[in-house]
Amino acid sequence: MKVSDIDVNNNSFVEYKSRFRSLSCGDIPNNKSNEEEKFTNEIVPINSLLSEHSIALLSQHEDIVHKPKINKLLLAGTALCGIGTGCAMMPIFNYELRNLENFGIDVHQSEAFFIASTINTLMMITAQCTIELYHYFNNKHDIGHFDSTQNKCLQITKVGSVVSSLLPVVLLWNIEINDQKVSESHGFDEFMQWATFTMIPLLIFKIVEIYEAMTKVIGGAYKDINLNSIGSKLITYGTTALSTIARGISYSAATEELAKNIGFEEETAKTIGIVIGGVLGSVIPAITEHNTMKSMFKPQEYQLTKTDIAIGTLASLEGAWFALPTVSVGLKATSNWNLLLRFGLFTPYFVNKAVSEANNIYNTYKITKPNINI
């Protein structure tokens, strides 16, 4: 019997596949009925022909045959949220990247590059947000296997996700408030309107993104990844430790600036920045980004195609690009520090953040591929 002889369009394919998994693992009953005997005699000869990869390929075919219908209303809603998030991120990139001029890097010197970077930010964020939110709200999330401790952690994560999602919102409001001051405008003008209406989809996207990432951590998605070499441990834990400090500086600086902008005294603003931004706001990102670095050493589960490699390369480049704003905030806040110290802190943070952003982008691509765990 050949693999091609199997009718994957048959309605009993799911049962057939599950029974094969059971039998191939040696779970063959001692007292078999005639039907089980017949099935065993049929399936055992092809046990050596069908691998787990073959099962995955056949499952992909099954998903294509039984492709679920698109929820058009949900898709429209998530697309609108994606556009809003892209509009929120555009001014953040355009403003924060100016901080790189302190290092002789003027990304806005070329008008063509400025326009290209703006369009890239809008398109990538819109696409990523739309796909991730549609996937999240259109699928059931099975957490029934979580124990009581995991469920408690998940409840804490819901609150933590809101606090951790505030950094891009803080950056957005800082920029719009500063632009309002430069324009000598007042009240609920175009700057406040932009910050208010784009803040909502930005918050939704970031909360869902962080919550999903933490659900994987709590569910044990990374616990079986072994860091066997000294190099893997050094890269994972070394960058995590240094990134924790740099991230705290960036988050504290951004939150402190917003506190000053809305009227708090300098000392009070500094305290708010450290507590809310540097501590509370950066804890969960530290956990998720550490596990993302750890996942780099996870054995590859399936054969990469040329498309996978191309998308992975694009995700890496975009990840590095999306890491720049947060890093630039910290560089600006430490402008009077020793150059080597800044390099030692913010280079690992840049790497850590870039890998995390690239992973998010690549996972968005993987959502569109059937039967691949993310």
> C-alpha angle 167/168/174, rounded to 5°?
90
Q: Which residues contact 161 (CB under 8 A, 6 or more apart)?
A: 206, 207, 210, 211, 214, 284
pLDDT value for 22? 52
Residue 207 pLDDT: 93
373 secondary structure, DSSP code: -
| Average confidence score pLDDT of the chain | 80
Residue 187 CA to residue 265 CA, distance in Å, equals 22
In angstroms and rounded to an integer, the radius of gyration of the C-alpha atoms of the chain is 25
Distances, alpha carbon 28 to alpha carbons 31, 35, 43, 341, in Å: 9, 13, 11, 63
Residue among 241, 272, 267 nearest 351 (CA): 241
Cα separation, 64 vs 66, whole angstroms: 5
DSSP designation for 188? S
Cα–Cα distance for residue pair 307/315, rounded to 1 Å = 12
Rounded distance between C-alpha atoms, residue 245 and residue 232, angstroms: 20
To 5 degrees, how large is the angle CA 166–CA 170–CA 171?
125
pLDDT at 68: 64
Structure-block tokens of residue 5: 């002889």
**Beta-carbon contacts of residue 259 (< 8 Å; ≥ 6 apart):** 268, 269, 272, 273
pLDDT, tens digit (0-9, with 9 covering 90-100), for 144-197: 578 888 888 888 888 888 888 888 899 999 999 988 888 888 888 899 999 999
pLDDT, tens only, 212-226: 889 888 888 888 888
Residue with tokens 């590095």: 320
pLDDT of 243 over the 90 cut: yes
Percent with pLDDT over 70 in the chain: 76
pLDDT, average across residues 103-123: 77
Residues 6 or more apart whose CB falls under 8 angstroms from that of 296 comprise: 235, 236, 355
Q: Return the pLDDT at 158.
A: 85
> What pTM, to 2 d.p., does this model score?
0.75
| Residue from 25, 63, 156, 45 nearest 371 by CA | 63
